[in-house]
């Protein structure tokens, strides 16, 4: 039996990346797409609680949600796909840009895969490391191969794979750890036609820490980076130190 594959993203249902991903996934499974109706880049793992949400069914395999990627996966698993049974795997992307290192914490693409793992569905997130010109040919091939392997071998419980693909033809694939960028925030102040101030948040990126074996280094060497991640943010090494504080109340 072909696996049931749930696809989502944070660039929206009409993004070129999700179209390329869907085409690739059709080669190995029965595909269902539940994605935001508009771009949700930077949404991270946010869940919409302050307003009602609306679901629009496009056809028997496509739905939009006017919310975040986390909303989409939550609805897909618990509401939309109930009649078609639970998905076997969730694939998020292909993101129009990198999700490397600590930037993964901001990513709606990664969050979609993470929400799936929390709900007991293996999750994979795919991103193309390109700023302007996005040719998804190679990243779709990578997504197909990695997803095939994930279906064949399985992914450890509570673990998602964050996959970043360099621009052009990759030299190969490396299993990596999450790296850390060196950057500083840049806040740009402007004035609108009515004389009121508004702001854009950006950053000036200097580089990354060269620690060996990181996702940044793999991409810099033109390799695909596959980083196993999980929602458990516990710093286990710090637990003993905190016990030594002898905190009392």
* Residue 216: count of CB within 10 angstroms of its CB: 25
CA distance 144 to 148: 6
DSSP state of 68: -
Q: pLDDT digit string (tens) for 33-74?
A: 999 998 877 778 888 899 999 999 999 999 999 999 999 999
Q: pLDDT digit string (tens) for 170-187?
A: 999 999 999 987 777 889
**Helix or strand (DSSP H, E) at 215:** helix 215-220
pLDDT at 212: 84
Residue 188 has pLDDT above 70, yes or no: yes
Beginning with the edge strand found earlier in the chain, give each strand of the sheet holding 30-36 in spatial order: 55-59, 62-65, 30-36, 4-8, 89-96, 123-129, 159-166, 224-230, 173-175
Residue 83 has pLDDT above 70, yes or no: no
Nearest to 66 by CA among 53, 52, 51: 53
Instruction: Please indicate, yes or no, if residue 140 is contained in any of the structural domains.
Output: yes
Instruction: Please indicate, yes or no, if residue 243 is contained in any of the structural domains.
Output: no
* Dihedral sign, Cα of residue 231, residue 101, residue 161, residue 144: positive
Q: Scan for tokens 């990513």, then name that residue.
A: 107
Instruction: Please indicate, yes or no, if residue 138 is contained in any of the structural domains.
Output: yes
Total domains present in the chain: 1
Instruction: Please indicate, yes or no, if residue 157 is contained in any of the structural domains.
Output: yes
Instruction: Please indicate, yes or no, if residue 32 is contained in any of the structural domains.
Output: yes
pLDDT at 67: 93
Q: Scan for tokens 């179209």, then name that residue.
A: 19
Q: Domain limits at 224? A: 4-178+209-234
CA distance 78 to 25: 22
Angle at 44 between CA 28 and CA 171, to 5 degrees: 50
Instruction: Please indicate, yes or no, if residue 244 is contained in any of the structural domains.
Output: no
> Are 94 and 12 within 8 A, CB to CB?
no
By mean pLDDT, which of 40-44, 76-80, 107-111, 213-217 is the weakest? 40-44
Q: What is the dihedral of CA 99, 103, 104, 110, to 10 degrees?
A: -60
| R_g over Cα of the chain | 19
Instruction: Please indicate, yes or no, if residue 155 is contained in any of the structural domains.
Output: yes
Q: Name the pTM for this structure.
A: 0.90
- Cβ partners under 8 Å of residue 16, min gap 6: 96, 134, 136
Instruction: Please indicate, yes or no, if residue 196 is contained in any of the structural domains.
Output: no
DSSP state of 11: S
3-state secondary structure of 165: strand
In the chain, DSSP finds a helix count (H) and a strand count (E) of: 6, 11
CATH number at residue 56: 3.40.1210.10
pLDDT at 206: 65
């Amino acid at each position: 039996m072909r696996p049931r594959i749930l696809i989502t993203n944070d660039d929206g249902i009409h993004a070129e990346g999700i179209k390329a991903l869907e085409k690739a996934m059709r080669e190995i499974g029965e595909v269902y797409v539940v994605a935001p109706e508009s771009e949700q880049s930077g949404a991270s793992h946010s869940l919409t609680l302050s307003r009602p949400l609306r679901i629009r069914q496009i056809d028997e395999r496509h739905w939009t949600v006017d919310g975040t990627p986390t909303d989409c996966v939550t609805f897909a698993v618990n509401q939309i796909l109930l009649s078609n049974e639970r998905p076997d795997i969730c694939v998020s992307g292909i993101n129009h840009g990198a999700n490397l290192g600590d930037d993964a914490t901001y990513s709606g693409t990664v969050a979609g895969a993470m929400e799936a793992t929390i709900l007991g569905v293996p999750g994979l997130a795919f991103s193309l490391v390109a700023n302007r010109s996005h040719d998804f040919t190679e990243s779709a091939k990578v997504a197909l191969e990695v997803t095939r392997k994930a279906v064949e071998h399985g992914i450890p419980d509570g673990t998602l794979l964050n996959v970043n693909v360099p621009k052009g033809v990759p030299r190969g694939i490396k299993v990596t750890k999450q790296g850390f960028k060196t950057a500083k925030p840049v806040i740009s102040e402007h004035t609108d036609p009515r004389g009121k101030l508004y702001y854009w948040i950006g950053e000036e990126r200097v580089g990354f820490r060269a620690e060996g074996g990181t996702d940044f280094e793999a991409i810099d060497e033109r390799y695909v980076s596959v980083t196993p991640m999980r929602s458990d943010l516990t710093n286990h090494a710090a637990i003993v130190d905190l016990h030594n504080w002898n905190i009392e109340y």
